[in-house]
Every structure is written in C-alpha cells, then in structure tokens.
Amino acid sequence: MHATPSLVIQTSFLGDVVLTTPLLRRLAPRGPVTVVTTPAAAGLLEGHPDVARLVVYDKRGADAGIGGFVRLAQALATDAPDAVAYLAQGSHRTGALARAAGYHHRVGLATSSGRIWYTTAVDTPTGMHHAERLWRLAGDRDAPADVLRPHLAPGAEHVDAAMALLRAHGAQDEPLVALAPGSVWGTKRWPHYAQLAHALRELRPVVIGSRDDAGIAAEVLAAAPRAIDATGRLPLLGAAALIGRCRAVVTNDSLPLHLASAMDTPTVAIFGPTSPTFGFGPLASRRVLVEHPGLDCRPCHRHGPPHCPLGHFRCMTDVLVPQVMDALRQVTA
C-alpha cells in the first residue's frame, strides 16, 4: 500500500494538542506523520506511537519573525505530490507555512481564520466535540466514542517519576483523587477545592497543576494536611501518568480534564463561564459534568473572562461541595 505523508500543525493550547491525538491515530496507518507544535506542548507528544517526527515551532521565541518562518518551511519541505497538511490550528500563519513547505493539499476547518490557505475546508456542526472536529479533517464521519478519546503515551520514566512522588508521601498504595484547581483563566477556577479536599475521607487528594498553581495548592494543603502537592513537580506526561494512577479527577475546564480523558480516568468536570457545548468536555468513559442549573448569563465567554461580567460569579460560587461530592461518588461507584 502506498504511504501518504501527513503534516499536522497544532500550535494552539495544550488541551487542543491532546485533542489532536485521535486525528494522529487516524492518519498514522496512511503514512508517516510529522507534527508541528509549541515548545510547551512538545512534551505531551514525546514517544507518541503515531508521531514519526516531532518539530517544535517556537513562534514567540527562537522562530519568531519571517526568518524563523522561512527556516521552518524549509525544514518541513516536501516534494511528495500527495502529501497532505492538516491545519489543526487554523491561523493564517499555519496555513501559509504549509503552503510554503510545498504541501499542495491543505485541509482545515471551514470556521478557521486561515481558511483561504486551504484546498479543502471541512464543515462541522455546531456543538460537536473539538476532538471530532479535528478527527474529521482526515475525511471521516460518525466517529465512535472510543475513537475520539485522546491517547497519550507516558514512558517508564514518567510513570517512575509519578510513583516516586507518591512514595515520598507514603501514598503509593492508597486510593487517590486528583484535584485540579487551576486554570489560566481565573473565572474557570471553582473556588471550593479546599473545602472539597477537607471533606474527602476515603480518597486521598493529590493537587495537580503547573508551578503557577502553587498558591492554590497551598490553600488545599492547609485545609487537608494529607493532601499531596504535585503542582509543578512532574513533566506533562508524568502528570498524565499520575492521573492514570488515580481513582478519579475533579477538574475545571482546563488541561487536566483532557489528560484525564487520555488516561480514561473517571472525571468530574466543573464548568462555569464556559460550556461543554463549545466542544471541550470530558471524554473519559466515566464522567459527570457539574454546572449551575439555572443561570441565563452562562455561558458568557469562549475561554472564561478575566472577571465575571455581572460581578457575582455565581456560576462557580453557587456550585457547592455536596454537589461535587455526589458527582465524585457517581464516577467512582
């Protein structure tokens, strides 16, 4: 069978990179897949079985400007007439990059700002999960749930790092629940994680997130001294391995939600200013969404505004610990 080379450009947020992995799995049997992503996201795809070549595009650093663009286009250059570029991040820059690299076939979403660069623009229905939007770039439709669930490949070193952290706290054999209280967008942060950690009895909490979440982790640790602080202590795939070790995850609409989907860890996902209808809900086989049931003002933003536009933040403050505890019981039953 003739091998068709594929180029996938995904330089968006970390969660988007995770949600691109079903597309990678679909393309890999067709031929070698080259993926272009950011320095921050490259660790997510380390050792991934569906990635033949991983190229880092530091568009705000070493590869900034026209010089970096030209160097990358040259590095990606192809003379294969049937090679296909899939623009999972749909900016003008990524579309132009694929064209400059010699890809005659360029596929992206019809809603993308860079669609003028595409030879094929794919329409997707409103409300479709983003993993399926990206998967449909490969030309398929009606994907079953197990196909759309993302996939990551933590190596032995990532598993060892996660287990070393647990052993340091004497927790290697304990039932655990990962708590992910952080988010780049402040209004996505459910404010009651400390109370939730204090209320937990059968599951020992592990607080996950980046170094920027250390302050939030300190609040949880103060409320629940047995909680384990894993914020900023593991690489991305190490965090995925740790999530895979947990009985469940409680998370905001942020990266840990997608890591949990990739590890198929039961997930309680709390949505406030955003909504799963935007296409970024959990895909773990056991999942419960927690949302305020009666606010006409939500959703109010695609990502989460810096502050509540109405000043009350009820979409998060009114979601109380008993509601989340009930969801947690449902996914761990």
Condensed to tens digits (0 to 9), the pLDDT of residues 173-224 reads 999 999 999 999 999 999 999 999 999 989 999 999 999 999 999 999 999 9
CA distances in angstroms from 202 to 168, 180, 295, 332, listed in the order given: 20, 18, 33, 11
SS3 23: helix
Q: Same domain, yes or no, for 99 and 207? A: no
Same domain, 166 and 121: no
In the predicted structure, residue 44 carries a pLDDT above the cut 90: yes
Task: State the average pLDDT over residues 84-109.
Answer: 97
Mean pLDDT of 123-148: 91
Cβ-based neighbours of 195, under 8 Å, separated by 6 or more: 223, 321
Domain with 107, as residue range(s), is: 6-148
Beta-carbon neighbour count of residue 150 at 10 Å? 26
The C-alpha atoms of residue 170 and residue 68 are separated, in whole angstroms, by 48
Total number of domains constituting the chain: 2
- Residue 87 and residue 84: Cα distance in Å, rounded? 10
For position 294, what pLDDT does the model report? 87
pTM, entire model: 0.96
Confidence of residue 1 (pLDDT cuts 50, 70, 90): low
pLDDT tens digits, residue range 140-160?
887 887 899 999 999 999 999
Separation of first and last alpha carbons in the chain = 47
Shared domain check, 161 and 50: no
Question: Is 234 within a domain?
Answer: yes
